[in-house]
Amino acid sequence: MKYSLEKRALEKQQSDCIVLPLFEDLQLSPAANYVDQSSGNNITKIVERKDFDAKAGSTMLLSSESEQHTRILLMGLGKQDAFNPATLKKSVLAATNVVKNTQTKTALFALSGITLPDYSSAWLARFSIEAISDALYVFDEFKTQKADKVTLDAVSFYCGEDIDDALVEQAIKEGSAIASGVSVTKTLGNLPGNICTPTYLAEKAKVIAKNNNAISTTVLDEKKMASLGMHSLLSVSAGSEEPAQLIVMEYKGGNASDRPHILVGKGITFDSGGISLKPGEAMDEMKYDMCGAASVFGTMTAIAELQPAINVTAIIAAAENMPDGKATKPGDIVTTLSGQTVEILNTDAEGRLVLCDALTYAEQHHNPASIVDIATLTGACIIALGHHTTGLLGNDDSLADELLNAGTKAADKAWRLPLFDEYQTQLDSNFADMQNIGGRPAGTITAACFLSRFAKEMKWAHLDIAGTAWTSGKNKGATGRPVPMLTQYLLNKAG
Ligand code: BES
Ligand code: MN
Ligand code: ZN
């Protein structure tokens, strides 16, 4: 999809479909007024008859009598005083769903006269692009009957005369880079476990490096990991026919000497629970247990497109968690790369076992300025925060604040949970330095407590995306979160 800024004046504009936003007070914007006058006052009549309620998500498609636009789509935005990024996205998503079922090739969103509280007007275009891309996303690789091809191939935004073109153009760039990243993340997440294996992810990372001069990829195989001493990570793949992979992607946009900001992704391509086997219901959803890794791939995609002046290193701990004669058993004790020993009481608490070695590897080999891990780590996080908010924990207040702020700005929110020392004793083991589970209370916090023991010397934060990475039920699928937050965080870092 081509996204651009419409710089022509209202009289010069042309499109197959002009999208006109309306709040519930039904006041026409200058653009809507102009189109109304050149189209037989169609819109005024509808407004006067109160035939359109303008609720967020309602739309009305009109055939236009104007020479300039073939179609007019009224897009409801809801109540003006309740307007926020989420309602904007909901509205644009609904509008795009209508447009994509017409023969429209070029759509023009006339966003002039609308402002989002706390945001400059450029953000309207950025959030709109994210919503448009969301509406147009299809995953039909495994359908023999493909979805109908959508004719829409160019979207432009009119933001009025008194705007800073460069600012909006930058927002459009960021919006489309984030949208590409989100789409990469969704597709990796949606791929089934028999296709998207640790080896598949490693190949994917090599392709990314091949297509981007600023990115290089290195992959450590099981032999290499064993020689380094990553026995915790390897204990997870022990029961699988699929070998684990430690994937490192380095983006160099800053000075060679700048320490990198590191993203570590949990890449469990299928989590059966291992010997501590999960119940059968909805077990298919455990193919999404690599969504942390997928979000790191998505963020690297966005970063490669935007080329910020910063160094970013991605580390993916990829493995499949399966039961087998060679699988790790409850009670087994392993030595981590850090030297600390772990009594594995539940093989289903495998995410922390791969992440701990990845964290130590990052510390030993990549000298991070900051490190953020992203993981579908605990069912408990869904109980605590539901599906709207990502869990955030960490050992550094300023890093945590930077992530929270980036999430708020990018409309991809997180909420911090405490990491008080008191919780650490839940990990005490009779036989090893620690055990890998902390009991039922505060499951998200004790999981993070476990990770914190491997991040003591680093500025570290942990994002638990168990509730936000995918949607269950009839419309199940990966969401692409938290790519917007992570990309925003890194763009802010680059200044
Ligand atoms: N991948 C799961 C966490 C998960 C569960 C994410 C459901 C999304 C939906 C993780 O590996 C896991 O199994 N965690 C266990 C930990 C427990 C054994 C301490 C959990 O949350 O039940
Ligand atoms: Mn598990
Ligand atoms: Zn898992």
Both 158 and 187 in one domain: the answer is: no
Residue 180 Cβ inside 6 Å of ligand 1? The answer reads: no
Both 456 and 361 in one domain: the answer is: yes
Which percentage of the chain shows pLDDT scores above 90?
98
CA dihedral 36, 39, 41, 45 (to 10 degrees): -100
- Residue 349 CA to ligand 2 center (angstroms) comes to 5
Which percentage of the chain shows pLDDT scores above 70?
100
- From the list 235, 303, 298, the residue with the least C-alpha distance to 265 is 298
The reported pTM is 0.98
Q: Number of folded domains in the chain?
A: 2
Residue 466 Cβ inside 6 Å of ligand 1? The answer reads: yes
- Please check the confidence at residue 185 and state whether its pLDDT lies above 90: yes
Query: For residue range 451-490, what is the model confidence (pLDDT) as tens digits?
Result: 999 999 999 999 999 999 999 999 999 999 999 999 999 9
Query: For residue range 110-131, what is the model confidence (pLDDT) as tens digits?
Result: 999 999 999 998 999 999 999 9
How much is the pLDDT for 179? 98
Query: For residue range 423-460, what is the model confidence (pLDDT) as tens digits?
Result: 999 999 999 999 999 999 999 999 999 999 999 999 99
- Please check the confidence at residue 495 and state whether its pLDDT lies above 90: no
Residue 262 Cβ inside 6 Å of ligand 1? The answer reads: no
CA distance 443 to 377: 10
- Residue 409 CA to ligand 1 center (angstroms) comes to 29
Identify the domain containing residue 334 by its residue range. Answer: 183-494
Average pLDDT for 393-402? 98
Does residue 169 form part of some domain? no
- Residue 84 CA to ligand 3 center (angstroms) comes to 34
Both 322 and 363 in one domain: the answer is: yes
Both 119 and 189 in one domain: the answer is: no
Query: For residue range 72-101, what is the model confidence (pLDDT) as tens digits?
Result: 999 999 999 999 999 999 999 999 999 999
Query: For residue range 347-360, what is the model confidence (pLDDT) as tens digits?
Result: 999 999 999 999 99
H-helix or E-strand spanning residue 321: strand 311-321
Mean pLDDT of the chain: 97
Taking the CA of residue 125 as centre, how many other CA atoms within 13 Å lie in the half-sphere pointing to its CB?
32
CA distance 74 to 138: 25
Residue 289 Cβ inside 6 Å of ligand 1? The answer reads: yes
Both 83 and 134 in one domain: the answer is: yes
What residues contact 410, with CB distance under 8 A and at least 6 apart? 178, 484, 485, 487, 488
Q: Which of 55, 278, 329, 416 is catalytic?
A: 278
Pocket test of ligand 1: the residue of 271, 378, 470, 481 to mutate, having most ligand atoms within 8 Å of its CB, is: 378
Residue 125 Cβ inside 6 Å of ligand 1? The answer reads: no
Both 157 and 187 in one domain: the answer is: no
- Please check the confidence at residue 65 and state whether its pLDDT lies above 90: no
Mutual angle of helices 351-366 and 443-452, in 10-degree steps? 30
- Residue 137 CA to ligand 2 center (angstroms) comes to 29
Q: What is the 3-state secondary structure (H, E, C) of 254-291?
A: CCCCCCCEEEEEEEEEEECCCCCCCCCCCHHHHHHHHH
Query: For residue range 126-184, what is the model confidence (pLDDT) as tens digits?
Result: 999 999 999 999 999 999 999 899 999 999 999 999 899 999 999 999 999 999 999 99
Q: Is 126 in the active site? A: no
The CATH number linked to 254 is 3.40.630.10
Query: For residue range 11-42, what is the model confidence (pLDDT) as tens digits?
Result: 999 999 999 999 999 999 999 999 999 999 99
The CATH number linked to 64 is 3.40.220.10
**What is the DSSP pairing of strand 311-321 with strand 245-252?**
antiparallel
